[in-house]
Amino acid sequence: MLHRAVCPGTFDPPTNGHLDVIGRAAAMFDELVVATGVNESKRRLFGDDERVELLRETVAGFGNVTVGTFDGLLVDYCRAEGIGVIVKGVRTAGDYDYELQMALMNRRLTGVETIFLPAAPEHAHLSSSLVKEVARFGGDVSSFVPASVHRRLTEALAR
Protein backbone atom coordinates (compact mmCIF):
# COMPACT_ATOMS: atom_id res chain seq x y z
CA MET A 1 0.00 0.00 0.00
CA LEU A 2 1.22 3.50 -0.78
CA HIS A 3 1.51 5.88 2.14
CA ARG A 4 -0.05 9.30 1.50
CA ALA A 5 -2.02 10.87 -1.30
CA VAL A 6 -4.08 13.97 -1.88
CA CYS A 7 -7.42 14.16 -3.67
CA PRO A 8 -7.81 17.84 -4.58
CA GLY A 9 -10.80 19.77 -5.82
CA THR A 10 -13.09 22.71 -5.37
CA PHE A 11 -15.88 20.51 -3.95
CA ASP A 12 -18.55 23.20 -4.37
CA PRO A 13 -20.49 21.14 -3.33
CA PRO A 14 -19.13 17.63 -2.74
CA THR A 15 -21.12 15.10 -4.79
CA ASN A 16 -21.63 11.35 -4.60
CA GLY A 17 -19.15 11.13 -7.48
CA HIS A 18 -16.52 12.83 -5.32
CA LEU A 19 -17.37 10.51 -2.45
CA ASP A 20 -16.99 7.46 -4.69
CA VAL A 21 -13.51 8.53 -5.85
CA ILE A 22 -12.52 9.42 -2.28
CA GLY A 23 -13.65 6.03 -1.00
CA ARG A 24 -11.82 4.13 -3.71
CA ALA A 25 -8.66 6.18 -3.21
CA ALA A 26 -8.84 5.75 0.58
CA ALA A 27 -8.67 2.00 0.06
CA MET A 28 -5.33 2.40 -1.79
CA PHE A 29 -3.43 4.58 0.66
CA ASP A 30 -2.57 4.63 4.34
CA GLU A 31 -3.75 8.25 4.43
CA LEU A 32 -5.76 10.31 1.98
CA VAL A 33 -6.00 14.07 2.32
CA VAL A 34 -9.01 15.60 0.62
CA ALA A 35 -7.83 19.13 -0.08
CA THR A 36 -9.95 22.00 -1.26
CA GLY A 37 -8.20 24.90 -2.87
CA VAL A 38 -8.78 28.43 -3.91
CA ASN A 39 -9.56 28.71 -7.61
CA GLU A 40 -10.21 32.28 -8.67
CA SER A 41 -11.68 31.19 -12.02
CA LYS A 42 -14.56 29.33 -10.38
CA ARG A 43 -17.55 31.10 -8.90
CA ARG A 44 -18.33 29.31 -5.65
CA LEU A 45 -21.62 28.93 -3.83
CA PHE A 46 -19.96 27.86 -0.57
CA GLY A 47 -17.13 29.73 1.11
CA ASP A 48 -13.85 28.08 2.08
CA ASP A 49 -14.91 27.29 5.65
CA GLU A 50 -18.27 25.91 4.51
CA ARG A 51 -16.63 23.61 1.96
CA VAL A 52 -14.20 22.31 4.59
CA GLU A 53 -17.10 21.65 6.95
CA LEU A 54 -19.09 19.88 4.21
CA LEU A 55 -16.07 17.76 3.34
CA ARG A 56 -15.45 16.82 6.97
CA GLU A 57 -19.08 15.70 7.30
CA THR A 58 -18.91 13.82 4.01
CA VAL A 59 -15.69 11.88 4.75
CA ALA A 60 -16.31 11.28 8.46
CA GLY A 61 -16.90 7.57 7.83
CA PHE A 62 -13.39 6.99 6.48
CA GLY A 63 -10.82 6.43 9.23
CA ASN A 64 -7.84 7.32 7.05
CA VAL A 65 -9.21 10.44 5.33
CA THR A 66 -8.51 13.98 6.51
CA VAL A 67 -9.48 17.34 5.05
CA GLY A 68 -7.02 20.08 4.20
CA THR A 69 -6.88 23.34 2.31
CA PHE A 70 -4.32 24.85 -0.01
CA ASP A 71 -3.73 28.13 -1.75
CA GLY A 72 -1.52 28.33 -4.81
CA LEU A 73 0.09 25.38 -6.53
CA LEU A 74 -1.06 21.94 -5.47
CA VAL A 75 2.48 20.60 -5.82
CA ASP A 76 3.70 23.17 -3.29
CA TYR A 77 1.06 21.85 -0.88
CA CYS A 78 2.20 18.29 -1.63
CA ARG A 79 5.82 19.18 -0.94
CA ALA A 80 4.94 20.96 2.33
CA GLU A 81 2.79 18.03 3.49
CA GLY A 82 5.13 15.25 2.32
CA ILE A 83 2.61 13.89 -0.17
CA GLY A 84 3.93 12.17 -3.30
CA VAL A 85 0.72 11.20 -5.12
CA ILE A 86 -2.25 13.16 -6.44
CA VAL A 87 -5.49 11.27 -7.09
CA LYS A 88 -7.85 12.73 -9.69
CA GLY A 89 -11.25 11.44 -10.69
CA VAL A 90 -12.03 11.72 -14.40
CA ARG A 91 -15.47 11.50 -16.00
CA THR A 92 -14.81 12.11 -19.67
CA ALA A 93 -12.06 12.19 -22.26
CA GLY A 94 -12.11 15.98 -21.91
CA ASP A 95 -11.41 15.68 -18.18
CA TYR A 96 -8.56 13.29 -18.93
CA ASP A 97 -7.00 15.56 -21.56
CA TYR A 98 -7.01 18.52 -19.18
CA GLU A 99 -5.84 16.54 -16.15
CA LEU A 100 -3.08 14.81 -18.11
CA GLN A 101 -1.49 18.17 -18.91
CA MET A 102 -1.63 19.10 -15.24
CA ALA A 103 -0.18 15.72 -14.21
CA LEU A 104 2.73 16.05 -16.59
CA MET A 105 3.47 19.58 -15.41
CA ASN A 106 3.23 18.57 -11.74
CA ARG A 107 5.59 15.64 -12.31
CA ARG A 108 8.04 17.84 -14.18
CA LEU A 109 7.98 20.51 -11.47
CA THR A 110 8.33 18.28 -8.42
CA GLY A 111 8.20 14.59 -9.27
CA VAL A 112 4.74 14.22 -7.73
CA GLU A 113 2.85 11.46 -9.53
CA THR A 114 -0.84 11.52 -10.48
CA ILE A 115 -3.22 8.57 -10.47
CA PHE A 116 -6.44 8.82 -12.47
CA LEU A 117 -9.56 7.04 -11.26
CA PRO A 118 -12.38 6.82 -13.79
CA ALA A 119 -15.78 7.83 -12.51
CA ALA A 120 -18.15 5.02 -11.70
CA PRO A 121 -20.73 4.82 -14.51
CA GLU A 122 -23.55 5.87 -12.19
CA HIS A 123 -21.67 9.08 -11.35
CA ALA A 124 -20.06 9.91 -14.71
CA HIS A 125 -22.62 12.64 -15.43
CA LEU A 126 -22.16 14.42 -12.09
CA SER A 127 -20.34 17.68 -11.61
CA SER A 128 -20.71 20.21 -8.85
CA SER A 129 -21.59 22.86 -11.43
CA LEU A 130 -24.37 20.79 -12.95
CA VAL A 131 -25.76 19.83 -9.55
CA LYS A 132 -25.92 23.52 -8.56
CA GLU A 133 -27.56 24.49 -11.84
CA VAL A 134 -30.25 21.83 -11.59
CA ALA A 135 -30.87 22.71 -7.93
CA ARG A 136 -31.12 26.44 -8.74
CA PHE A 137 -33.98 25.69 -11.11
CA GLY A 138 -35.81 23.51 -8.59
CA GLY A 139 -34.66 20.11 -9.82
CA ASP A 140 -34.29 17.27 -7.36
CA VAL A 141 -30.59 16.63 -6.79
CA SER A 142 -31.00 14.61 -3.58
CA SER A 143 -29.72 11.43 -5.24
CA PHE A 144 -26.54 13.18 -6.45
CA VAL A 145 -25.17 14.48 -3.15
CA PRO A 146 -24.94 13.21 0.44
CA ALA A 147 -27.96 14.13 2.60
CA SER A 148 -26.03 16.69 4.69
CA VAL A 149 -24.81 18.38 1.51
CA HIS A 150 -28.33 18.41 0.06
CA ARG A 151 -29.67 20.15 3.15
CA ARG A 152 -26.92 22.80 3.06
CA LEU A 153 -27.29 23.24 -0.71
CA THR A 154 -31.02 23.86 -0.34
CA GLU A 155 -30.37 26.39 2.43
CA ALA A 156 -27.65 28.18 0.43
CA LEU A 157 -29.83 28.52 -2.66
CA ALA A 158 -32.73 29.85 -0.57
CA ARG A 159 -30.56 32.78 0.63
Domain that holds residue 117: 2-158
Number of domains composing the chain: 1
CATH code, domain carrying 88: 3.40.50.620
* Residues above pLDDT 90, as percent of the chain: 89
pLDDT, one tens digit per residue, over 77-107 is 999 999 999 999 999 999 999 999 999 999 9
Tell me if residue 91 is catalytic.
yes
Confirm if 59 and 22 have CB atoms less than 8 A apart: yes
Q: What is the pLDDT of residue 2?
A: 62
Q: Is the pLDDT of residue 9 over 70?
A: yes
Tell me if residue 108 is catalytic.
no
Rounded to an integer, the average pLDDT of 47-66 is 95
Is pTM beyond 0.85? Reply is yes
Tell me if residue 51 is catalytic.
no
Cα–Cα dist 154/159, whole Å: 9
Among the listed residues 18, 51, 123, 150, the single catalytic one is 18
Tell me if residue 132 is catalytic.
no
Among the listed residues 4, 91, 107, 148, the single catalytic one is 91
Binning pLDDT at 50, 70 and 90, where does residue 39 land?
A: low
> In a 3-state reduction of DSSP, which class is residue 81?
helix
Cα–Cα dist 159/146, whole Å: 20
CA distances from 129 to 20, 45, 114 (A): 17, 10, 24
Among the listed residues 88, 123, 128, 152, the single catalytic one is 128
